[in-house]
Amino acid sequence: MKINGKAALQEKIIELENLKVVQEEELKLQFHAVKESMKPSNLLKSGLSSLTSGPGLGGGLLKTAAGLGIGVLSKKIFLGSSPSFIKKVVGSVFEIAAANTTISHADKIKAYGISLYNNLFNKNEKHKTDADVS
């Protein structure tokens, strides 16, 4: 667009100044959004959510962590801290077996846990509503 005359020049200057103000506001908003996303708590949240939402990676990672946790816990519960070498070997085998079982049946265990959780809390809510009716 050619600018012919002083009035057209003034009009174009005003238009560009308005554009500058709008772009500065957008830049400030974007800066605050980036600043907020760079906080350590938000970085941690986003990192964990990307791990668990990834195709296959998050589920496998959670299954492995659950398996290892169950293995170590079961070894501690059933064998304790034993000084015997044979008991340590048996405990390690037991730990690996428990971890592998947990990993291979994680979906069933998760479904059972959710069902158990829902049954426990639904029964509590039923008792509360029965008591309210009486």
Residue 90 domain-assigned (yes or no): yes
pLDDT for 18 beyond 70: yes
Indicate the pLDDT class of residue 108, thresholds 50, 70 and 90.
confident
More confident of the two residues 84 and 33: 33
Residue 8 domain-assigned (yes or no): no
Length of the chain: 134
Average confidence (pLDDT) over 108-125? 74
Q: What is the pTM of this model?
A: 0.35
Residue 103 domain-assigned (yes or no): yes
Residue 102 domain-assigned (yes or no): yes
At 72 the pLDDT is 72
At 51 the pLDDT is 55
At 37 the pLDDT is 80
At 47 the pLDDT is 65
More confident of the two residues 29 and 126: 29
The C-alpha atoms of residue 49 and residue 32 are separated, in whole angstroms, by: 22
Domain that holds residue 93: 56-133
Residue 66: its H or E element = helix 57-79
Residue 34 domain-assigned (yes or no): no
Residue 91 domain-assigned (yes or no): yes
Name which of 117, 102, 105 is nearest 70 in CA terms: 102
Residue 3 domain-assigned (yes or no): no
Domain count across the chain: 1
Residue 88 domain-assigned (yes or no): yes
